[in-house]
Amino acid sequence: MLFGITESWLREDIDSAEVSHPGYVVYRQDRRDTHNGVGGGVLLYVRDDIVSVEKSQLQGSFVNSVWCELSTNNSKRSRDVITDGVVYRSPNSSDDNDVVLFDSIRKAAKGKLGTSDHDILAFDVVCKVVSSISKEKVPDFSRSDTEAIETLLKGTDWINLFSDMSASQSWICFADKLKVIMENHVPWKNRRRKSSMPHWMNKKVRCAIRQKRRMWKLFRRTKSESLLAKFKIHQLKVECLVSDAKLNFEKSIALKIKDNPKAFFSYVRSKQKVKDAIVSLRAPQADKIVTDSQDLADLLNDYFVSVFTREDTSSIPDFQGGSDRPKLDTVLFSDDVVLKELLRLNVSKASGPDAIHPYLLKTFAHYFCVPLSLIFSKFMDEGYVPRDWRCANITQFSRRVIRLSPVMHIGSSNQKFTYNLNGVELQEVSVERDLGIYIDSSLQPSKHCLEAAKRGNRVLGMIKRNFSFLKEDIVVRLYKQLVRPHLEYAVQAWNPYFAKDKEVLEKVQRRATRMISSLKRVPYYRRLQLLNLTTLELRRLRGDLIQVFKIVYGFDNLSFTDFFMFANSSCTRGHCLKLQKSHSRINIRHNFFSNRVVNEWNSLPEKVVLASSVNGFKNALDKHFKHCNRV
């Protein structure tokens, strides 16, 4: 029913799915006051057909414990609710921890064992599994009457139909036409349950497995040695087919990873034995455990709404539009522009509040581009947006509570004053995350390098655990698309200049190349040559030089004078676009983007910096690096 584990040695970068067990909900408490994350930590596994809620109030200041409350789905009496916990006490634990531990046990205990001072926990558990069947209906476009739809659309004269209508009337008429098409020519079906078969399973493998099972049953009945020999031969054949199917499927994921990354994450989720789910929650108002799906959704929605501030909109001044403001009087919605946008729709997305499915719009885009261009033009002329376009199905997923902006004191000589906003003292922080980049009070990139490497290693672990074949073409494609972007996101703003930070990032790529089974014992730089890769340090330098080229030639909307100025030296050595390097008093300024690239830019050959386009500069720069044996 439940079991506990101590000395889990888990860290925050290890996901709960890695230690999950099929059929159980896992509760964990990691120990944070350990050296290098070694030691401590507890786990509690509860069977998923038992309603369980974590009780953090029993933990107190004793960090190596986890408690949860167990009850049945039809629990109505207090004796049907029990409290269970797992506690780890270190041999050198202090007396204060012992006091907290005994206090937590007394709170969870329900009585004494006779006249003894030992506690006893007595309970009865009756479990009932309730399975829910989805009755949701979805359109089945594979059985739709395409010819009837085309005939109906061909016979509609949209221009004459909309001639005497306003923009709103035209949109309502168009939407009604599409609803009639959906009702009369597109059948509906029950939403299909997710298949329990592996994603790589195909028809050939499925038939071979069925044949193997039939051969095994026949052998069990007859006990024939000849049938056993045939079964073994067929079993080897099935193993080869399964291996080939897995390899081909994983190759297809890697080939399409840029256009369809969802296929990768869907495959990874299918490999997880235990799914993270919200089993039950405690309602704070009624002080009861909520298990119903609708009640859980309402409870979470109320919590999400409570963290947002409702602004007073009664005193908003009226907008006084001026005649000198620019107007959108030159916007044209041609049939070709609308057709191009319709063909870019993703048919796998769900329909919005208007119930118009994107599959229908994309499939018959050549017929819908004319009425939609007329409707868009009418709304632009009237300066009005219909209500259907202003509505959207929004799912709130963020649980982060809105807080006041913190204060970060920068510089060693900062006096660190306290600041208040409306009488509330602002929190002082040493590290803050802004636009995905971690900034600390020293303005050094070390913290962000650690976080970027952590994210990259997390994805690499996901690839290593879930992919059976770590071939060269599979690993390299997945690494370039899923891992390397974490290591190079906005790198011009936090380019590391300490050797330790560079090594932290380089270890991620070193680990990725070592995952390839055929290159495990090959030296790192040789692996890079075989895989046609370069070091991350050289890629960062290449990105800096490309950005300088864009700024110098005006390909980016950035002012050249805000970053650089041309050198006034009369020396004729080098190219004609050399930059002046400004004096830097501190190390941070010395490694800023506008300073760190000057020497590298000035050392480039003239044929490289005088390239006519960005792609020409990239090609010339790569040839220059290759000529200089820079990796």
Contact 425, 418 (CB under 8 A): yes
Gyration radius from the chain CA atoms: 32
Confidence at residue 489, expressed as pLDDT on a 0 to 100 scale: 92
Query: Taken in order 508, 510, 513, 519, is the CA torsion positive or negative?
Result: negative
Q: Which two tokens stand for residue 14?
A: 């290890």
Contact 9, 36 (CB under 8 A): no
Contact 201, 416 (CB under 8 A): no
**Residue 470: partners with Cβ closer than 8 Å, 6 or more residues away:** 463, 464, 515, 516, 517
Contact 419, 425 (CB under 8 A): yes
CA distances (Å), origin 620, targets 109, 456, 613: 75, 30, 11
Q: How far is the first Cα of the chain from the last one, in angstroms, to the nearest whole number?
A: 56
Count of residues for the chain? 631
Mean pLDDT per 10-residue interval, the chain, length 631 residues: 81 76 82 65 83 75 76 52 78 73 69 55 48 70 90 90 88 90 89 79 94 94 92 95 95 92 90 70 74 81 74 68 59 87 86 85 92 89 78 56 72 84 84 89 90 94 92 94 94 91 95 92 93 93 93 89 84 82 85 90 91 93 88 66
Give strand pairing partners of 65. Answer: 87
Confidence at residue 354, expressed as pLDDT on a 0 to 100 scale: 81
What is the spatial distance between Cα 487 and Cα 448, in angstroms, rounded to a whole number? 10
DSSP symbol at 35: B
Contact 369, 335 (CB under 8 A): yes
Confidence at residue 277, expressed as pLDDT on a 0 to 100 scale: 64
Look-up of token digits 């609708």: 294
What is the spatial distance between Cα 502 and Cα 488, in angstroms, rounded to a whole number? 12
Element (H, E) at 202: none
Give strand pairing partners of 45. Answer: 3, 26
**Residue 124: partners with Cβ closer than 8 Å, 6 or more residues away:** 79, 80
**Residue 399: partners with Cβ closer than 8 Å, 6 or more residues away:** 304
Where does residue 36 fall: left (phi above 0), alpha (psi -120 to 50 degrees), or beta otherwise? left
| 573 burial level (CB within 10 Å; 0-12, 13-18, 19+) | exposed
Contact 199, 245 (CB under 8 A): no
Residue type for 627, please?
Answer: H
Element (H, E) at 589: helix 587-590
DSSP string, 82-102: EEEEEE---TT--HHHHHHHH
The pTM of this model reads 0.65
Q: What are phi and psi of 351, to 5 degrees?
A: -75, 160
Confidence at residue 571, expressed as pLDDT on a 0 to 100 scale: 67
Contact 443, 410 (CB under 8 A): yes
Residue type for 206, please?
Answer: R
DSSP symbol at 522: S
Look-up of token digits 């390909």: 555
**Residue 415: partners with Cβ closer than 8 Å, 6 or more residues away:** none
